[in-house]
Each structure stands twice: as structure tokens, then as C-alpha cells.
Amino acid sequence: MEPRESKLRPIPAQFPKSFTKPDEPWHHYLTLDLIVYVLSYTLFHPWTCWILVLCLRAQYTPYGNIEMRIAMAWAMLMSGIGIFGIFSDRFAYGRPREVDLSEEVIVITGGVEGLGGLLADTYGMRHANVAVLDTKKVSDEESEERGVLFYQCDVGDAEQVERVAREIVEDLGPPTILINNAGIVRPKSILDTTASDVEQVFRTNTLSHFHTLRTFLPHMLESRRGTIVTISSVLGHLGAAHLSSYAASKAALHALHHSLRAELAQHPHGADIKTILVSPGQMSTKMFEGVKTPSNFLAPVIAPTDVAKEILRLVERGESGEVVMPLYARWISVFGVLPAGVQKVVRRLSGVDTAIQRAGLVKEKMVAAEKSG
């Protein structure tokens, strides 16, 4: 008897690019973020701290002994900090909403590649209703393979967003989760940046958020549930040489996010519409490929998977919040209150203003003119 042919469609497999790169030395993977992560589940975790107290009691350590007092005081301190954090988040963001992916309609801008593509593929594999808006055209075969509907659309154009929104409502239903991820960068000095460059960056990075919010937010308010994810950047707090338009467009998103939260708090149907602000440091995507941080220990390049994991966690828990990583990015707002001289030293040591130029991503007319003169 001849074997029957398999009806399963073969899917080509390709190893991630990391497999083609040479192995780094062991200390390359040792970062401040990793150390803090381990400590957060050991020395700084209330459960672990109380286990230590129980272990001391199991050895019949008297309560009056100095080691028992220190262990109990530390456990109570960690418990107090943990409880305060829970109440602080509940007071700031309210109760989480119920999220059932089978009933959600997810819209992702700029979701063909990079972080947006990773989020789209993850939801597609879980059979969620996903609509991706991107200027890149995707074939029907690839769309079916990824389990995602792709709509060719320039999100910087309000009319195109409104047109595609009507198609999404007809194909999938009213959107309930909006992930504003689309972004571009034009690495040039301010004097070399044209009006067209600035307009294009702001249209894609900033104005697109206004277009999608005006278009999709009414559906969420009508159904009284939703989640809005705003993808910004740590450069929105810092600024950087040769990235003026990009940094300015991302800084605007921080203000937009806080304004959105304030308006939703005043709207009678806005209680169950959650907001998430994402401000990552440098990610290992094509946008800043070749840019190196001054210290892999203090400022590691983060993988898009790590950022995506945190976004997915908050979205699926139905919570509001912020995704800020790596560790230094959480304290970047403190940078602005430092003395001006200290700020200058920190910027020079960090190399934030020279990283783009060292990576060879800047197209400078001024430098060429000076050399020729």
C-alpha cells in the first residue's frame, strides 16, 4: 500500500539571526538589569524574606537575637513596600478590566516588522483578531500564514486611517485594543534637516496617534472597554544630537499620553479604557542597527521580545501602566534635576550625542562642506 501524501502545508523554517552571530564572552550577558532582576525575586521579594525568618525559627533562633530582628525587620520592610506599590497602582490606574482575546479586536500600526511585527505575530499565533496598518504591502499568502489581516495605510494620513477603520469594523468588528507603534527616524543634524524630513517624522511618529485615537477611541467609549498602547522612547526625555526630529516627536507622545489619561478620567465611559506608555531604551531593531551603547553593563541593548513580553502582560491583565526598560530608563526623569555641569558630564560619558555619528548613520552636508573648505 502506497503511503498517502500529507495534506499539511510545509512552512519554511529559518533560524533567528542571533544564531549566525559569534558567541559573546560570558560577562557580556552580565548586566545591571539582570542583577536587579535576580535580587527582586530573592533578597527584595517579601516571600523569600519571610522564608528566611521561618528558617531561622526552624533552627530555634530566639526572637531577641540580632539576626532574627534584622531578618524580621527586612521582611516587614519589603512587605510594606510591596503593599504600598499595589495600592499605589490601584489608586492611579483603577481596577483591571476583563480581557478575552477571542472577543478583542487588536489594531497595530507599523506591525509588519520590528516590535510591532513581533506583537502581531504573537497575537496571530494565538488566533486573536489582529489588524495591522502599515505602508508596506503584504501578500495574502503571508497574511494567512501569520494569521493577521494587513491593511496598506499611511497612518500619518487621517483620511486613509478613517477609510481603513471602516474596513476593519466590517471585517473584524469595532477595535478594542490599539497599539500605536509606527515610527521612523531621519538621523540628520538640525541644519541639514529639511522641512519635508521634519513633517514626515512628525506625521508618522506623532500625528498618527491623533488620527488613530480620533478614529478608534469612539468605538472603545461606546463599548466601555479598551486598551491604548503608546510606544514612545527614552530619547523623548533626553534628546540627542542628530536625532532632533525623532526625539521631539517622541517627547510629544509623553504629553499626549498624560493628556489622554486625564481626559479618559473625566469621561463617563472611560473608566475601563486602559492606557500603557512604553518608553524603551535602545532596542536591537533595524532602526538603530549598528549603534552601540557606552556600557553593556549599565545600558544594555534590549531585545524587542523583552519589551513585547511586558506589553502583552499588561494588555492581557487588563491593566494600565508603563513599560520602561532597561533599568536606567526608569530613572531618566531624575536626569533633568541634576546640575547643568553634571548633566554635561553624564551626556559626554554616555556618548548619547555621538552614538549615531559613530555608527555611520548620519548624512551630514555640513561636515562635507567644512572638509572641502
Amino acid letter for position 271: A
pLDDT at 236: 93
Alpha carbons within 13 A on the beta-carbon side of 6? 3
Would you state the pLDDT for residue 253? 97
Instruction: Please write down the long-range contacts of 163-171, taking CB distance under 8 Å and 24 or more positions apart.
Output: 164/133, 165/215, 165/216, 168/105, 168/107, 168/131, 169/219, 171/131
Q: What one-character-per-residue DSSP string does 169-213 give?
A: HHHT-S--EEEE-------B-TTT--HHHHHHHHIIIIIHHHHHH
By annotation, the residues acting in catalysis are 246
- Stretches where the chain sits below pLDDT 70 are 1-23, 363-373
Q: 358 is written with which cell numbers?
A: 559613530
- What is the reported pLDDT for 4? 45
Q: Which residues contact 305 (CB under 8 A, 6 or more apart)?
A: 118
Query: Closest Cα to residue 317, out of 261, 276, 256?
Result: 276
Sequence-distant (≥ 6) Cβ neighbours of residue 78 within 8 angstroms? 44, 45, 46, 49
Going by C-beta distance under 8 Å and a sequence separation of 6 or more, which residues neighbour residue 105?
129, 131, 168, 172, 173, 174, 175, 176, 177
> Which CATH number applies to 101-355?
3.40.50.720
Which helix H or strand E contains 217, and what residues bound it? helix 208-223
Q: How much is the pLDDT for 364?
A: 56
To which residue does cell 520602561 refer?
Answer: 324
- What pLDDT score was predicted for residue 3? 47
* Cβ contact 69:94 at 8 Å: no
Domain with CATH 3.40.50.720 in the chain: 101-355
- pLDDT of res. 280: 94
- pLDDT score of 41: 93
